[in-house]
Chains A and B, each alone.
Chain A
Amino acid sequence: MRRAEFAIEALIKVLGFSAIGFVLLIFVFLLREGLPVFAQVPLSNLFGTRWYPTFGLFGTLPLILGSLLVTVTAILMALPLGVATAVFVREMAPTWAREVLKPAIEVLAGIPSVVLGFFGMTIVAPLVRQVLGAPTGLTAFTGALILAYMSLPTIVSVAEDALDAVPKSYRDAGLAMGATQWQTIWRVVVPAARSGIVTAVMLGMGRAIGETMAVMMVTGNAARMPLTPDSLFRPVRTMTATIAAEMGEVARGSVHYHALFGVGIILFVLTFLINLAAASTMFKQKRRGGLR
């Protein structure tokens, strides 16, 4: 009996540390398959501006910039929408509106990315083409639009938690000073929830930069440097889409294969840093007293 219990508790302890084990395992295997590319291809090529694997050109710059363009545009759209929705839900929505909004956002969080990509391809992209009068609707903008909605559930729920954590006394104080509810919300409550909102944006950004299927289906996948002003409305290619589209056809152990794992390392490190930053703001905001 005692011995069985000891074994179970030891097993649970091991399982407790499994998360650390898996993060390390993922990193080790990315390095194992990805590092060879740094020996096989000169750095000037790897960070060059052209990605044409068939000609031995593995410039990751257009992919990195493509990911950034789509992600940053998506967050610029999602941030005001998400924060406004969180404020609406938490601070002023009538009960019936809350009961429509919250389940709707939960449904959005549950829609598989390939379904949103399919919807983007068949409905949104043709609309974008018509409105812009462009030759194709598969553009960075279309991708950013879909991504903005995909990161909304994360942004709304984390921002809502942040607003929730602002003590009630702050609101009372604002109202007692003669401010309207509107003034209290934007000059007292939202600034007090600032660090939580930053966390929300970062988690949303991490989600957006790693999104694969929807982006691959709607951005047109042309690996070009998005440097001209009209790049937002032209096809673009992200890091995630490159891996997903090319890994299936590549020979195991070839330079191209290792290069795709190299792109995976870049993605892993980027999302790791974003999440680390989100975590540090999250731990910071825990210290604050006051009545709820």
Chain B
Amino acid sequence: MNRYQVQRLGFVLLTLIALVVVVPIVLVVGVIVARGLKAINIEFLIAMPRDGMRAGGIFPAIVGTLLLTLGTALAAIPIGVGGAIYLAEYARDTWLTRAIRLAILNLAGIPSVVYGLFGLGLFVLFLRLGTSILAGSLTLAVMTLPIIISTAEEALRAVPSEFRLVSASLGGTRWQGIRHIVFPQALPGIITGVLLGLLRAAGETAPILFTVAAFFLPHLPRSLFDQTMALPYHLYVISTQVPGMPHEIQYGTALVLLMLVLSINIVATSIRSYFRRRRQW
């Protein structure tokens, strides 16, 4: 076999490997969509669970997940974007800045269940928030922080330095330049980063296990200090903890969660590509 035949064989092999990667992904999404669609109707989306969750809808879990995601956004966006502005616009390359970067990398790598332990220790017990939407949102917010900081920093750094120079040359202070010039230019990229962080929060189960998630609640939460059901935890519960669960409801729940997360994903990536095409630098 000469080296050109080796090359041709190699290319075939790589194509096969790419198929091994792609086919299961298509299969997972395809199976869940195909089987889940049978369960989904208006009642499934807006009714309370009945009959030990074996019938009715998953409304409280959907509301719970939306509330938790909103809470996460409120807590994580100001801290994350502020941190990114510091790193992109103010920080110089010192050992302290390197320590911040290491901390961000490390935060991104901490297992989700360890975030759950941290949330339990700090928010639920030490700050006495109890197992509550507040405690769960804050836990998820800390977990999303590294994603938001690093993507927002990247978006800010992508703005050419000429923008800052022109602002300064017109007598603007550093903060005015950031607020009126750099930040608006970086905003689409920042929104993409925030959405990518939130989609991770919406799909996570382990951090909410001991901080907010309720096995079953027949009503909607009434305050920030209530427990709530949530889609990921609900899927876990009905696929492992409830005997005699109809497969349809399991697949329906999986589909709703998957669609929620994938649609945030699509919105995030289309914002990015839309503004990338339209920007003038």
Contacts and interface: CB of A to CB of B under 8 A. Distances in A.
29 contacts: A9-B174, A9-B175, A13-B90, A18-B83, A26-B115, A26-B118, A29-B118, A29-B121, A80-B17, A85-B17, A88-B14, A106-B269, A113-B203, A114-B233, A115-B28, A115-B32, A118-B254, A119-B31, A122-B247, A182-B6, A206-B109, A209-B111, A210-B109, A210-B114, A212-B111, A217-B236, A244-B206, A260-B117, A271-B111
Interface in A84-105: 84-85, 87-89, 92-93, 97, 100-101, 104-105
A240 B113 CA distance: 6
A41 interface: no
A57 interface: no
Given A243-B113, A271-B109, 11 more contacts: A15-B79, A15-B86, A19-B83, A33-B117, A93-B18, A106-B265, A118-B239, A119-B31, A122-B247, A182-B3, A247-B120
Contact of A180 (B3, B32, B116, B233): B3
Interface string A207-241: 10111110001000000000000000000000010
Contact of A81 (B17, B209, B236, B265): B17
Nearest to B20: A81
Contacts of B209: 244, 247-248
A26 B114 contact: yes
A42 to B, nearest CB: 23
Interface stretch (A128-136, A168-176, A190-198, A274-282): A274-282
A8 B102 CA distance: 25
Contacts of A81: 17, 20-21
Contact of B111 (A25, A211, A247): A211
A38 interface: no
A40 interface: no
Which of A13, A115, A181 gathers the greatest number of chain B CB atoms within 10 Å? A115
A203 interface: yes
B28 A116 contact: yes
Contacts of A115: 28, 32, 203, 232, 235, 254, 257-258
A152 interface: yes
Contact of A212 (B10, B79, B113): B113
Contact of B112 (A92, A181, A210): A210
Which of B24, B105, B109, B209 gathers the greatest number of chain A CB atoms within 10 Å? B109
Contacts of A267: 111, 113-114
A289 interface: no
Interface string B69-95: 000000000110011011100110000
Interface string A11-52: 111011111101101100110110000000000000000000
A213 B261 contact: no
B25 A104 contact: yes
B89 to A, nearest CB: 8
A5 B142 CA distance: 27
Given A9-B175, A92-B11, A267-B114, A114 B232 contact: yes
Interface string A245-267: 00110001000000011001001
A278 B99 CA distance: 15
A179 B3 CA distance: 9
Interface string B263-281: 0010001000000000000
B82 A19 contact: no
A84 B17 contact: yes
Interface in B172-220: 173-176, 199, 202-206, 209-210
Given A110-B199, A247-B117, A275-B106, A213 B145 contact: no
A60 B133 CA distance: 32
A181 B10 CA distance: 11
Contacts of B269: 106
Contacts of B112: 113, 210-212
Nearest to A182: B7
A25 B173 contact: no
A210 B111 CA distance: 4
Interface of A: 5, 8-9, 11-13, 15-20, 22-23, 25-26, 29-30, 32-33, 80-81, 84-85, 87-89, 92-93, 97, 100-101, 104-108, 110-119, 121-123, 149, 152, 180-183, 203, 206-207, 209-213, 217, 240, 243-244, 247-248, 252, 260-261, 264, 267-268, 271-272, 274-276, 278-279
A267 B116 CA distance: 13
A26 B250 CA distance: 34
Contacts of A180: 3-4, 6-7
Contacts of A105: 21, 25
Contact of B82 (A15, A117, A244, A248): A15
Interface in B97-139: 99-100, 102-118, 120-122, 125-126
Given A8-B175, A272-B106, A19 B146 contact: yes
Contacts of B109: 203, 206-207, 210, 271-272, 274-275
Given A22-B145, A212-B111, A244-B206, A32 B86 contact: no
B83 to A, nearest CB: 5
Nearest to A27: B118
